[in-house]
Structure 1
Amino acid sequence: MLLNCQNPFFKHLTPPSELITIYRDLWFLCKMASTAPLFHYSPRFIDHRITNSNNNNNLSSSSTSCSSSTSSFDNLRGNNWNINTFSGTKHQNLKAQAMSTTQGTSPRGNINVKDEPDHLLVLVHGIMGSPSDWTYFEADLKRRLGKRFLIYASSCNTYTKTFTGIDGAGKRLAEEVMEIVRNTESLKKISFLAHSLGGLFSRYAIAVLYMPNTSSDDSSVIAGSTNTSLKTSCYSNTGLIAGLEPSNFITLATPHLGVRGKKQLPFLLGLPFLEKIAAPLAPIFTGRTGSQLFLTDGQPDRPPLLLRMASDCKDGKFVSALGAFRCRLLYANVSYDHMVGWRTSSIRRETELIKPPLQSLDGYKHVVSVEYCPPVSSEGPHFPEEAAKAKQAAQNEPNNQNTVEYHETMEEEMIRGLQRLGWKKVDVSFHSAFWPFFAHNNINVKNEWLYNAGVGVVAHVADNIKQQENQQGSTYVAASL
């Protein structure tokens, strides 16, 4: 019986000639798939190509400011670091999980062809904070950065959990980040954006999550009462964080050098009796975190945690982890911040503080200056016997003279350790804002209605992240051609 092709039921059937063409094309594709190698993504290979591309281009200081080292330190890019051994099986498990994300047949190693996020941006709040502190910042970043970013506000250290110590909070943050990475297979890159104390939590967490590309001998260990010092000039941007490619490490008003006196903790107003009681009272109100911020934690012959975090030591590869990021940005309030002073948040010495300009940068209200500080070749931090004695005096007799002398010694050592990395330092001034005295909360727009003076900072952060993302993308394409 003949089929009536005019019938609506048959008019959509594919003619035999077209079927033959389709089958032929399918056979050809299958044949090609069986012989052509699949393209495989390797973060280490990408890093090598990006480095070579950067070395072959004369970029301006503004475009290279986020590089972990300048051309004079290119020969150090091949340096390798030991995988640090952390106490406790939980930290070892975290490192094993981070390593597993880059091995085997993980989907993370393939090109992301779907419209899925491939860049994790972790937002970390400060003391007594919560994820709600990032409500405005998170919404604006999502609007500006697009769907390729997975923006996550950390919730593991809310409120009084911030008093349990920088190390304790940092470990919890590392576990939280690893959980996100395990549950999101499309991720390839990672960035951190932290406010206030959250910056120190993040610095500890990335050391827990850090995985060097290869291992080598590293003698940069700060012994308890020895004069061991690091002879390395700077750190190369190698290694992974939680198995991902580190991109941006950004802090907003973070006390990188701890807190002390009117120059570091402005609300003490420089009054001697307040400075005398601040250090011994800090642990009562803020637990272990308080003693760590005042550099009086631990035994007198043991370096304080913040000093150890300015180098690679048995507690973690803190500087190597920071050096793995392509971009390190410090946002600091030059005035009116009654929680964190300008010096500590921008990692500067007293002599390096100059009068900032009053005029804001175009398009970024209250952002007044941007400075790139390249890596400085210097010995790393050390903790001699004299420092141990000064620490003991600051613990047992916390008068103004003992505390100031001890802190000045420790701050210089921390600066020497951290300046081996290149930093982009952004100064913020709310002197013309309606509520200038809320500078510490303005800088991250903690509340949209009270602290909206910081919207220019949000725009500046977003544009820096986009600029870094575009540079990485363009250099990768150029290296692939």
Structure 2
Amino acid sequence: MEKNLEEMIEAKRSDEEEDANNLKKKKKMKRIRRRRSLIVKRLSCFRSQDFGHPTIDEVDGDGNVDMTSASTGNKHSPTHLVVMVNGLIGSAHNWRYAAKQFLKKYPEDLIVHCSERNSSLLTFNGVDVMGNRLANEVLLVIKRHPNLQKISFIGHSLGGLIARYAIAKLYTRDSTDIHCLECGSSARIAGLVPINFVTIATPHLGTGGHKQVPMFGGSNTVEKVANQISWVLGRTGRHLFLTDKPHGQPPLLLQMVNDCEDLKFFSALQSFRRHVVYANAHFDHIVGWSTSSIRRRNELPQRKHLVRSGKYPHILKGEQDTTNTAKQENSIKLPISNFKAARASMEEAMIRGLTKISWERIDVSFKGSKQRYFAHNTIQVNSPWINSDGADVIQHLVDNFHLHHL
């Protein structure tokens, strides 16, 4: 009798365990199906050149592209211009996916201009030359669309530096503008109200040694060698490695943190309502976390304290840093006795200059992704079939974009 009872209890326990295992299997299969569905949905979006949203593309003789949403027809005249600037050896096509996502969310408000004037080998011509080209290009875009009122810039990698130079060329103050009372400032970029200035994996502090290029492994010797052969990248290489000394003046990137007599670099940047830097915390072998987030290395968050966002899997959540150092001196005096100390001194001067403005710092990590070794391009979704994991970063950029001044 007792034996039969034990067998019954054991059988019941086995049935319960089997039911529990079946439930676990069902939940697992449900998660797998949901994941597959998301992947299929994403791939179906990437399969088309429309990337899920049809647009009207106007291409000029130089290959520059003005994109507007096709869903509104000609009923609306957008008033906000978004200028997207490519990086080294890049082109307007690198921004196509991101541009589509912006127009999908803001079809009636935006014209997205994907710059092509500085593409391919032309990106070796120097930050100043490319900045001048971009400034002239923006003026032509505005001439084609006379109803524009606001302007924003988004630059990837070198494109962020090109944009910083271009806005200084386009910066003006107009106390007679009737919109000044509404927006609280007379500062204009090409006659438009500046709203967002966003950079993605941009070497704001240059790449001139001091561990700013991860692929160099922090080796002082390797950095010195790279410094010596920076000419391979033309004038751009000399600007990035801080080896240019035009007419005995400081390197261009160092000049670009202050107002000069003819170019108001700082005032132009400050005129934007919002300043944002997206920076790879892992696996970006080209642009380091410090230079792209405009922070000293000892100010970088500890990676173990950063957690992933639920909605945006590759965005790291931590205490958002929007601090500045406006009360600090504009320059720093360090003993310049060797290569490393000289680079550290210039880097510190650039940090102090740039952080007089408040920045939203968005840290990104593709750790665990099969595309992590292409992090520098994945963060932009440069090529959707290779860099699709960066789609959530672009979505974060789109969702947090400011259409209007505050």
- Give your verdict on TM over 0.5: yes
- Answering whether residue 281 of structure 2 is matched by residue 334 of structure 1, we say yes
- The corresponding residue for 1:174 is 135
Give the alignment of 1:400-415 within 5 angstroms: 402-415=338-351
d(CA) in 2 for partners of 1:182, 1:444? 28
- 1:116 is displaced (CA, Å) by 0.7
1:311 to partner: Cα distance: 0.7
Give the match for residue 353 of structure 1. 300
1:191 to 2:139 alignment: no
Q: Which amino acid aligns with 2:207?
A: V
Q: Relative to 1, partners in 2 of residues 1:369 and 1:319: Cα closer, same or farther, differing over 3 Å? A: farther
1:376 partnered with 2:304:
no
Q: Deviations over 1:289-348 (max 9, x none)?
A: 111111110158421111110011125111110111001000000111011000000000
* Alignment gaps of 5+ in structure 2: 1-73, 177-183
Aligned to 1:363: 311
Using the TM superposition, give the Cα deviation of residue 211 of structure 1 relative to its aligned residue in structure 2, in angstroms: 0.5
What are the Cα deviations for residues 227-286 of structure 1, in whole angstroms up to 9, with x where unaligned? xxxxxxxxx965000000001000000000001347200111233442221011011x10
Give the SS at the match of 1:469: coil
Q: Does 1:309 align with 2:256?
A: yes
User: How much has 1:362 moved relative to structure 2?
Assistant: 2.5
TM-score by length of 1: 0.64
Alpha-carbon distance change, 383 to 304 in structure 1, aligned in 2, over 3 angstroms: farther
Distance across 1 between alignment mates of 2:147 and 2:140: 14
Residue aligning to 1:291: 238
- CA–CA separation in structure 2 for the residues paired with 1:315 and 1:444: 33
Which amino acid counterpart does residue 154 of structure 2 have in structure 1? L
2:395 equivalent among 459, 471, 475: 459
- The one-character-per-residue Cα deviations of 1:72-130 (angstroms, maximum 9, x if unpaired) are xxxxxxxxxxxxxxxxxxxxxxxxxxxxxxxxxxxxxxxxx961110000000000101
Superposed CA RMSD: 2.2
Alignment pair present for 1:280 and 2:241: no
1:428/1:140 CA distance change after superposition, 3 Å: same
Question: Which whole-Å deviations, capped at 9, do the CAs of 1:459-479 have from their partners, x for residues lacking one?
Answer: 1100111xx226x4xx6xxxx
Q: Deviations over 1:366-420 (max 9, x none)?
A: 0003623234323564487x78xx4xxxxxxxxxx83221111011111111111
Contact in 1 for aligned 2:209/2:227 (Cα 8 Å):
no
Aligned-pair identity in percent equals 41
The aligned amino acid for 2:326 is S
Q: CA deviation at 1:351?
A: 1.5
2:312 alignment partner AA:
Y
Residues 292 and 438 (structure 1 numbering): CA distance in 2 closer, same or farther, change over 3 Å? same
Equivalent residues in 2 for 1:84-233, closer than 5 Å: 115-213=76-174
Determine the C-alpha separation between the residues in 2 that align with 1:374 and 1:273: 34
Residue pairs, 1:27-106, within 5 angstroms = none
Matched, 1:436 2:384: no
Aligned counterpart for 2:272 among listed residues 313, 319, 325:
325
Q: Distance in 2 between matches of 1:266 and 1:376?
A: 26
Alpha carbons 1:307, 1:381 under 8 Å: kept: no
Provide the rounded CA distance (Å) in 2 between the counterparts of 1:382 and 1:376: 12
Do the aligned partners of 1:378 and 1:416 also contact (CA within 8 Å) in 2?
no
* CA distances 1:142-169 after superposition (whole Å, capped 9, x unpaired): 1122131000100110111111110000
